[in-house]
Chains A and B, each alone.
Chain A
């Protein structure tokens, strides 16, 4: 099938989302199925066909999702109902929508430059439980409980963590 001329192509929009918690390994295909499931579940097959959601890029903790122009709002609502991706808890925080992928990539780069720097303390004690710091972003710390079982990921702040 030959490529359509630009004037006959469908107008698309791209939605930039940040994946939380930070450091989550994203499989683009799995995330596509998750988003597709969320869109279909919320809006039904007919509307999902209109939205035509697709994950076009997953890089640096961000995901760019494509949709048809005019259906960004519906896609955004569906994205806010995404809570799991293949048994991994996550949240997609919508940052921006644009007509080009490149402008969203610039946004990712700008965000990376403005991100607060800082390294975590490595380990500490939260609520009498020894924890290892997984991720640190300014005041925000993601820690994991030490031990053989019940090692849950906890979301705390720097002030919550006591240094050993």
Chain B
């Protein structure tokens, strides 16, 4: 299992180069990063996985973009919106992660979408940036949404990923700090370890439960 930060935004989105982020990730105890709009590779022993973030697009465009990037090996991340959009996206083959649940409307994620995520093997991302940068009601709302999402996760067992949404090396957090921040959401250490490996779980091809031996 690789400890992965599921979304970082290197230069030009942020102020840090992907190599510097890899150096920092090594110091902070991470094994791999999903870097948005950056080609895949290995930097300083850290695996960099290319990520494509789709946001503010209608379902039709999301389908087109997912199809276009299906063979590139990139991690497809879609920003959550209303409930209908989320259901449509979760059923798409090729979508790996749905993120931004904390910022979506209250009814965006319910038991039906949770069941769909579990059936389709799409991970729900826990973006820690509202916990780190948010204050007051914004942080309280994010904690509430994530706690609500974790209730469904325990029931339906869909994959989870953890991300810092870092745009700078200053925004990145060590594994110990991430674990501590996740304790605010009621996640214990095994839950966090499982979520750290969420990206590998959703991007690796599923192992069939029945294997035909010729």
Contacts and interface: CB of A to CB of B under 8 A. Distances in A.
B20 A140 contact: yes
Interface of A: 20-21, 41-42, 73, 76-77, 80-81, 83, 89-91, 93-94, 126-127, 139-141, 152-157, 159-160
A22 to B, nearest CB: 11
A20 B173 CA distance: 12
Interface in B105-133: 131-133
A160 B169 CA distance: 15
A81 B131 contact: yes
B15 interface: yes
A81 B136 CA distance: 13
Interface residue tally on B, bucketed by range: 20 to 34
Given A81-B131, A83-B133, A140-B23, A155 B174 contact: no
13 contacts: A20-B169, A20-B170, A41-B135, A73-B180, A76-B180, A80-B180, A81-B131, A81-B132, A91-B169, A140-B23, A154-B17, A155-B17, A156-B17
B53 to A, nearest CB: 21
B55 interface: no
B198 to A, nearest CB: 21
Contacts of B20: 140-141, 155-157, 160
Interface of B: 11-12, 15-17, 19-20, 23-24, 44, 131-133, 135-136, 139, 168-171, 173-174, 176-177, 180-181, 183-184
B181 A80 contact: yes
Contacts of B17: 126, 154-157, 160
Nearest to A126: B17
Contacts of A89: 168, 170
Contacts of B184: 77
Contacts of A153: 15
A94 B180 CA distance: 12
Nearest to B182: A77
Contacts of B177: 76-77, 80, 94
B5 to A, nearest CB: 14
Give the residue among A77, A81, A127 with the most B Cβ atoms within 10 A: A81
Give the residue among B12, B170, B176 with the most A Cβ atoms within 10 A: B170
A70 to B, nearest CB: 15
Given A80-B180, A94-B176, A156 B170 contact: no
A77 B23 contact: no
A78 to B, nearest CB: 10
A55 to B, nearest CB: 19
B23 A154 contact: no
Contacts of B133: 81, 83
